[in-house]
Structure 1
Amino acid sequence: MNTQKNILNPTLGLAMLFASVAACGAEENTLQLTENGLGDLNSGTSFSVESIAQALPDFIVTAENTYSEGEAYPAIFVRDGDVLVAQVFPRFEMTSHVGAIVVTDPRVSFKGRASIGERFADLDVKPTECVAGLEERSGLALCQDGEFPHVGLIFGGNWAGPDGELPPADILDGFTVKEISWSAGVL
């Protein structure tokens, strides 16, 4: 009987180990961007660390500044451990509420239509829906999702053309999604 007990304990231990490893894998980031926002984060959410943390309880939420042309702008960063998932910005006309969300994590998709790292050629985005990035966004293609006017796809790639010009179609096809943006108003 002692022999059975010794065999059972390692078997039970292995079963528990496999179950815990499977459970860890199940906790993958399932956050999704939709036309209404990011998970429970939307235009009705107050622009505060507390409100955003309540809308996204499984993430680390911090208030930080972003900089554009030397100017500081308030932002709230959403992280999964050390990984930046998204940046949240206030509305222009009503700074007390969320106005824009910029997703940077490849695990977050836009309704299964687009994810960070996907190629322009593989998505249903037309070059006529895109404009060239300027200044800090020079070299990027800023595209509006044709079906959802609140969502933008920011593409980047290897091209050093003039500021304010989109690359030729064959080069644009090789660009990949760098950011997915959502806005409380039409982009």
Structure 2
Amino acid sequence: MRKILYTIILYTLLATHQQTTAEKGDGLIGKPAPDWGKLRWINSDPLQLNNLANKVLLIQWWTAVRPFCKHSFAALHELHQLFTQEDFLVIGMYHPKPSHYKTLDRIAKTVNQLGVKFPTAIDIEGKILQKYWLDAKMYNQSPSSFLIGRKRKIRYIHQGDGYHQGGGKSHQQCQQDYKELKAQINKLLQEPADTTTQLTVSEAHLGKLKPDTPFREDRIQQLFPNFDIVKDTSSTEGELFPIFRIRKNSQDILVINPTSDHQHIFSVEIKNKIVKNELGANLGSTYHEVYGNQLDTNCSPGVEEQSGKVICFALGSKRIMYVFAGKWHGPDGVLPPIEILRSWELSEIVWKP
């Protein structure tokens, strides 16, 4: 009988501990922060998690009818101002309650009345909050704050009553929570940023691009978190088509071109020496260094925008092509003699999935 009673007590304590842990969200610490996809933004251009790599993010879900949400706004603005020179960003996620608060005009009016200065998105049905909690029983609990580290992982969660400074003895818990949150932000900002920008091209991949990678902005952003992604247009024979420029310090690193249906990647132009070639030749290499003193049978004169250049397949490759450029006054459409070509330099590498 005692053994049965002991087992019941132990099971009850374990269940209570598991429930408390779940309510605190401890099981989510260290897990990747979910993307929030396409949302409506009130006072900011649309933001994507993939574009905020190396920033520490404080994501606060709030609703206008909860007093604790309103009390925390002063603290959010203080943190927004305090760390304005750091890699830190406050993001508001408005979770409207009740349903009549869901019109865009009503939400925009509420945001303006509260003087919200930081970027704020609208999580109409609380679906993004549910993704973050990973549990339908918990997602409806707002306000909720998630602190995201530089590597896009959840590092700290605050749930329930607000946090702020001041307010007297009756607000001691809120004051303590504010100090804890501020300390956590400082801690995460001290962690080194991921500044890795080294890219490698091979027959199988270019960086994290693979032959089956779709020509889609969100996917490209995810694969190049430490670069700027610029959506642009180019043309061939007078026909415009979209391209993505992968940039660093205002310089093109890659230019990604689509297939005719704009669904897949047709080619990627490598524009910068930051990209290393596993086959050996890199931008600036001479034709002689790559192919020796003979005209390679896989070389041909360039056409259209590559006119006046020479394009060769890399030795042993079906996907990597080299574009050589140099001085020559011969006719277009003809390969220059080896005496001229041998000193031409590799100006561009093209990877075709």
Q: TM-score, normalised by structure 1?
A: 0.78
Q: Aligned partners of 2:296 and 2:330: how far apart in 1?
A: 16
When residues 165 and 155 of structure 1 are mapped into structure 2, their CA distance, relative to the original with a 3 A threshold, is same
Q: Aligned partners of 1:158 and 1:151: how far apart in 2?
A: 24
**Please, which of 249, 253, 262 is the counterpart of residue 95 of structure 1?**
262
Q: Aligned partners of 2:348 and 2:296: how far apart in 1?
A: 17
Q: Aligned partners of 1:29 and 1:140: how far apart in 2?
A: 29
Q: Does 1:118 align with 2:314?
A: no
Q: Does 1:163 align with 2:325?
A: no
Q: Which structure has more RCO (C-alpha within 8 Å, separation ≥ 6)?
A: 1
Letter in 2 for 1:60: D
Matched with 1:104 is: 271
Matched with 1:62 is: 230
* Runs of 4+ with deviation above 6 angstroms: none
Give the structure with the larger helix fraction: 2
Letter in 1 for 2:258: P
Matches within 5 A, 1:123-134: 123-124=290-291, 126-134=295-303
When residues 72 and 95 of structure 1 are mapped into structure 2, their CA distance, relative to the original with a 3 A threshold, is closer
Q: Aligned partners of 1:135 and 1:95: how far apart in 2?
A: 21
Q: Which structure 1 residue ranges, 5 or more long, are not aligned?
A: 1-22
Query: What is the number of equivalent residue pairs in this alignment?
Result: 160
1:112 Cα deviation after fit:
5.1
Q: How large is the Cα RMSD of the aligned pairs?
A: 2.1
The percentage of counterpart residues that share the same residue type is 28
Q: Aligned partners of 2:226 and 2:244: how far apart in 1?
A: 15
Q: Does 1:81 align with 2:249?
A: yes
- Judge which range, 135-144 or 174-183, deviates more: 135-144
When residues 116 and 176 of structure 1 are mapped into structure 2, their CA distance, relative to the original with a 3 A threshold, is same
When residues 53 and 162 of structure 1 are mapped into structure 2, their CA distance, relative to the original with a 3 A threshold, is same
User: Contact between 2:214 and 2:265, CA under 8 Å: does it hold in 1?
Assistant: yes
When residues 170 and 28 of structure 1 are mapped into structure 2, their CA distance, relative to the original with a 3 A threshold, is farther
Matched with 2:204 is: 36
Residue 297 of structure 2 aligns to a residue whose secondary structure is helix
Matched with 1:180 is: 349
Letter in 1 for 2:326: G
Rg larger for:
2
Residue 222 of structure 2 aligns to a residue whose secondary structure is helix
1:87 Cα deviation after fit:
0.5
Q: Aligned partners of 2:339 and 2:300: how far apart in 1?
A: 16
1:28 Cα deviation after fit:
6.4
User: Contact between 1:127 and 1:169, CA under 8 Å: does it hold in 2?
Assistant: no
Residue 37 of structure 1 aligns to a residue whose secondary structure is coil
- 1:71-101 deviation digits (Å, cap 9, x = unpaired): 2121111001211001111234x63122211
Q: Aligned partners of 1:124 and 1:56: how far apart in 2?
A: 32
Letter in 2 for 1:69: E
Q: Which structure 2 residue ranges, 5 or more long, are not aligned?
A: 1-191
User: Contact between 1:76 and 1:88, CA under 8 Å: does it hold in 2?
Assistant: yes
Residue 38 of structure 1 aligns to a residue whose secondary structure is coil
Residue 146 of structure 1 aligns to a residue whose secondary structure is coil
Q: Aligned partners of 1:130 and 1:45: how far apart in 2?
A: 28
Q: Aligned partners of 2:289 and 2:249: how far apart in 1?
A: 30
- 1:146-172 deviation digits (Å, cap 9, x = unpaired): 311111000000112111001000111
When residues 28 and 40 of structure 1 are mapped into structure 2, their CA distance, relative to the original with a 3 A threshold, is closer
1:67 Cα deviation after fit:
2.2
Q: Aligned partners of 1:146 and 1:135: how far apart in 2?
A: 24
When residues 68 and 160 of structure 1 are mapped into structure 2, their CA distance, relative to the original with a 3 A threshold, is farther
Matched with 2:218 is: 50
